[in-house]
Amino acid sequence: MNFTLRILGTASAMPISDTNPSAQVLSVHGRLFLIDCGEGTQQRLRQMHLGFLKIEAVCISHIHGDHVFGLFGLLSSMAMFNRTAPLKVFGPQALGPILRFWQSFFGDGCNYEIDFHSLTGSGMECVYENKSLKISAFPLSHKIDCYGYRFDEVLGARALSEGRCPRSYAYCSDTMPFPELEDYVRGVSVLYHETTYLKDMKDKALAYAHSTTADAASLALRAGVGKLLVAHYSSRVREKELFQKECREIFEDSYALSDCEVVEID
């Protein structure tokens, strides 16, 4: 059964002509989970042949524009596609008024329920669970309320008896390093961690509450993850290979992502 990550955007806040802002889709046993929703997300979904109506839940890390500006168009398109199934939306408390604004001005003809789950916890919180997947949210350290997400595959007794190991994925968007993060992502099969800055730009990372390549790779090493994926690149650096090179100096199994890339998690 699939556990597949599709990368819809890898840029940070400043627009780049050939790269979208943050958005990813995780497909677990045929169910789609959208993680962040930067501008242009719905166009990228079409380009990658991902159906709007198959999205079961949306996980928003925080309400900075490069992570949420694509949500309004996507919600409207879902209505135009005659979605009727409820849509679960997870995100910080401040996302609630934004969703209510969209519904009050643009919600006419919307035949589906937006089931918003406000994240306010100070530690790991289970927000979704079915027979094949558990989603947990955890706080990050950014300038505003910001959350990461951990996706853990749930296997039945038969699969476990056959020696299969459950797969897992953790998503850490905008954040400074902080001690608890190591425990939140410990042992995941694949970790995504923002690397807005190269290691010689540590001063800017601190000023804007972001991470460097060294921060992300050091966390991956300490937490014992299987593989590290990085993105959310500063527009100051156009050679993403530099991010990968610096991460691999600390954690060898590191990969700098590109838009439209597909990653099989195993």
Burial class for 163, CB neighbours closer than 10 Å (0-12, 13-18, 19+): exposed
- The strand pairing partners of 245, in sequence order, are none
Contact 18, 40 (CB under 8 A): no
Q: What is the DSSP letter of 64?
A: S
The set of catalytic residues is 66
Rounded to whole angstroms, the Cα distance separating 66 from 10 reads 10
Q: Which residue's entry shows tokens 């949500």?
A: 71
Cβ pair 50, 101 in contact under 8 A: no
